[in-house]
Amino acid sequence: MKWAAPCVAALAAFLGVQALARAAPPLGEVTIDLAGGPVNRIVPDQAFGAALDGMERGGVERLFTPFNIAAMRGAGLKSVTYRIRAELGIEAWHWSEAASWSDAAHTQGYWTGDPNSAPSGRVTWGYALPRRGDTVDQANDAGYSRLDDGDPATFWKSNPYLDRRYTGVASRPQWIVADLGKLAGIDAARIEWATPFATRYEIQYWTRADPYDDAGRWAAFPRGRMAGVRPGEGLIRLADRPVFARYVRILLIASSGTAPAGSADARDALGYAVREIHIGVVDARGAFRDRLRHGAGRDRQSVIVVSSTDPWHRAIDRDLDLEQPSFDLVHTSGITNGLPMMVPVGVLYDTPQNAVAEIRYLKARGYPVRQVELGEEPDGQSVSPEDDADLYLETARALHHLDPTLELGGPSLQSAFTDTWPDPGGGRSWTRRFIARLKARGGLDQLNFFSFEHYPFDNLCDPLGPKLLAETELMARAIAGSKRDGVPTLIPWIVSEYGFSAFSGRAMSEVPSALIDADIVGGFLTLGGAAAYMFGYGPNWPANQHAACAGFGNMMLFQADAQGRAGPPMAAYYFARLLTGEWARAGSAANLVYRAASDIRDPRGRPLVTAYVLKRPDGDWSVMLVNRDPTRAYRVRVVFNGGGKEPALGERGGLAVATYGPADYRWMDAGPASRPLLDLPPRRFAVPAGAPLTLPPWSLAVARGSGPSS
């Protein structure tokens, strides 16, 4: 038929166009906002850093070798923050071996390092607190509470530095919270007191099964209010009939202010001390049935949470499984690159006197000191924000008395969104209450920078694609929420640790870990942040920490061999190289941050391609691009919007591009034997002027070229 040939030709042409359309990635634009001007100014040597943490036994010697130090420095992360793992482990950190004890005859009491001592070696340790009240800690989690350990010779004691003698304000109540594990009928309790004891207290129960139920509150048992008498150790009948509850709190309101016989230290009389607690029900035969499990081990006792712990300890309490590198080793190893390190001082489990001695020691040794971070993750340890603020102020004022020029900050929050349970009175936001307490005590000027950690995802078993898309909003919420909570905006904000998750799994070692690192750093700096410190600086081994379905991987720049020597570089290493060697102009000169927007979005309006822009001191414009789509590539043009006729990025001279993605790196999840199957560096190439840049699926790219006024 005469019409057949033309129709066939037309159909073939149509199908050819369709095939071409499918083959060519979609074209989109990233628009750099010139009209709004630069939104931030960063100095790469200060803005890009790494966190140096405490370690387990033998970790210091494995890490601090010339080979490993050179490998780590090769990432280009110049600034270092030193973390106190001992603080997370409810331990006191001995940053020096030379020191004085408040009870020198028995090498015990309150420990203060010697600021004039000589270097004491390469390794320092945490010291477990024998008056510990918490069952669980955030480090090795090897300790346990003395409140239900079954040993009448041990006891918990609250922190004496929260007494008005030190704070200068009325002492706040302290508390003990017991988790019975499930709802249970409660009508009686027995408290074995130590000295000092409570002369006024309440025994309360949480009115809901869910500890984070907004309708929940602490209510006193019908006969749970005690006042005016020396407490005995007999059975306390709390109610005529059992009250069903899972959580029971002993609220300690007034102290006897008495010290044990023979004590010569005023701190022994401050706060509260309890040997053992028993919570349960009186059965039909009149016998008391304890609902708490008692045993000297985390898994052998009911979970106890306390408001504070006395930092008193002994020389015999050294924890050989919790090492910290000595300041002398860190500073002489070269890992600080000769720059001031952000140094920590203990707050929850230390004393202001020791904090001052530590800084005096660093100054005496000639180690540069600029930023001092006070404490670590107090919100994650269930301490009341008001109590932490009081301890913060004591330490900060002592340090500023030593040197008014020190930049003091913190509190290195575990998360920008931490809830305050088990002490919800006064509001749920930990940050809001911490800031409010500083303000109420006229101490907001002691907060010279604000720091928090950012590990956005606990669950590593779910698909990673939606998690990557969520990060932009999560960081924006963290910043906006902290501003609403009253954090001053004129001081530097610092992400003191960041990574995909606080738990180990394969996602930590796959390509998406590099993509989310880019979104965290780029997003934070675009929102006004001053510095961000990557966690996992040293070589490490694959691990599974949280759930079997998460697989094996870790936060690390390099996978370690059996001896701890840096081996294959991870995706996080190549992200760091792109960040410090391609995106920014490294050094001490300022790079200007501009805001950019992408029109490549998913159906919910979330950007599939994110972009972060720097105007470098060498005149180049540099854009870090993240394709968060796991299956689709995109072609991207980068243009400027300044209200005039600005050239596109690279319109004169083209673009210098470096890309990194699944074509360069692939992780094999094989339990402890997990390793990279493909491990290539980023690809570098040029894009002609006017041509779009193609971003492969799940990839990171840095494009650099000319622009306005360059």
Q: Which residues contact 5 (CB under 8 A, 6 or more apart)?
A: none
Contacts of residue 644, defined as CB under 8 A and 6 or more positions apart, other chains included, come to none
426-436 tens-digit pLDDT: 899 999 999 99
The pLDDT, as a whole number, for residue 8 is: 44
Using CA of residue 45, residue 683, residue 463, residue 545, what is the dihedral sign? negative
Q: Give yes or no for residue 145 having a pLDDT over 90.
A: yes
Q: What is the pLDDT of residue 5?
A: 44
76-98: average pLDDT:
97
> Tell me: the pLDDT tens digits for 326-378?
999 999 999 999 999 999 999 999 999 999 999 999 999 999 998 999 999 99
Model-level pTM? 0.94
Mean pLDDT of 538-542: 97
Residues 114 and 99: beta-carbon distance below 8 Å = yes
pLDDT value at residue 557: 98
Predicted local confidence at residue 710, as pLDDT: 56
**Backbone dihedral region of 90: left (phi > 0), alpha (psi from -120 to 50 degrees) or beta?**
left
| pLDDT for 298 beyond 50 | yes
Domains of the chain, by residue range, sit at 23-40+590-705, 156-310
Instruction: Report CA torsion sign: 246, 252, 258, 263.
Output: positive
- 710: CB partners within 8 A, 6+ apart: 615, 619, 620, 621
Residues 596, 38: contact at Cβ < 8 Å? no
Bridge-based pairing of strands 621-627 and 699-705 is antiparallel
Position 63 pLDDT exceeds 50:
yes
The CA distance from 349 to 631, in Å, is 49
Other beta carbons within 10 angstroms of residue 192's beta carbon come to 14
Task: Tell me which H or E stretch contains 4.
Answer: helix 4-23
With bands split at pLDDT 50, 70 and 90, how would you rate the model's confidence at 445? very high
CATH 3.30.420.40 describes domain 23-40+590-705: no
Please give the distance of CA 201 from its chain centroid, rounded to a whole number.
34
The first and second tokens of residue 692, run together, are: 């779009």
- pLDDT band for 233, please (50, 70, 90 cuts): confident
Task: Tell me how crowded residue 517 is: count the other CB atoms within 10 A of its CB.
Answer: 25
- The pLDDT of residue 17: 37
Encoded tokens for 558? 């390099």
Residues ≥6 apart with Cβ < 8 Å to 98: 113, 114, 117, 118, 120
Mean pLDDT (the chain) is 94
Report, as an integer, the average pLDDT of 157-183.
97
Residue 339: is it exposed, middle or buried by C-beta count within 10 angstroms (0-12/13-18/19+)? middle
Note the pLDDT tens digit of each residue in 600-620: 999 999 999 999 999 999 999
Query: Are the C-beta atoms of residues 699 and 627 closer than 8 Å to each other?
Result: yes
Q: What SS3 class is residue 569? A: strand
Please give the structure tokens belonging to residue 413: 């929050």
Among candidates 491, 482, 504, 374, which has minimal Cα distance to 418? 482
> Domain 156-310 classified CATH 2.60.120.260?
yes
